[in-house]
């Protein structure tokens, strides 16, 4: 199973990495590393994220206030990341893209 990432989620990822990198290169690298681990986990264990709506799940990026929001696509439940959401945003704001 191969993880898919939508263009919108790619934009979220680039913006978040950019924000941390502007503060310090070390923070940007740390965030990128933890995000990569979260994405790898979702790819390997797609059912491990907390279910938030039918086939939509979320997975917390360790040590950072971000959630990877993804859906499981039929027929084989391929995970597709469609939002990287900061935890300070409204919990249901992912629905704007869902």
CATH number at residue 74: 3.30.2310.20
In a domain, 95, yes or no: no
Q: Is residue 13 classed as helix, strand or coil in its secondary structure?
A: helix
In a domain, 92, yes or no: no
Q: Is the pLDDT of residue 88 over 90?
A: yes
- Residue 63 burial (CB count, 10 A): 10
Domain residues for the domain of 81 are: 4-87
Per-residue confidence (pLDDT) for residue 98, from 0 to 100:
67
How would residue 24 be classed by pLDDT, with cut points 50, 70 and 90? very high
In a domain, 98, yes or no: no
What is the count of structural domains for the chain? 1
Handedness of CA 40, 45, 47, 50 (dihedral sign): negative
In a domain, 69, yes or no: yes
pLDDT (tens digit, 9 = 90+) per residue, 36-72? 999 999 999 999 999 999 889 999 999 999 999 999 9
In a domain, 94, yes or no: no
pTM for the full predicted model: 0.93
């Amino acid at each position: 199973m191969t993880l898919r990432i939508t263009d919108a989620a790619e934009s979220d990822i680039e913006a978040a990495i950019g924000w941390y990198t502007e503060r310090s290169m070390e923070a940007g690298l740390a965030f990128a590393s933890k995000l990569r681990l979260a994405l790898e986990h979702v790819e390997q264990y797609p059912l491990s994220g907390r279910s938030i709506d039918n086939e939509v799940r979320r997975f917390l990026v360790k040590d950072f206030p971000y959630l990877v929001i993804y859906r499981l696509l039929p027929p084989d439940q391929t995970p597709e990341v469609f939002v990287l959401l900061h935890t300070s945003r409204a919990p249901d704001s992912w629905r704007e893209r869902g």
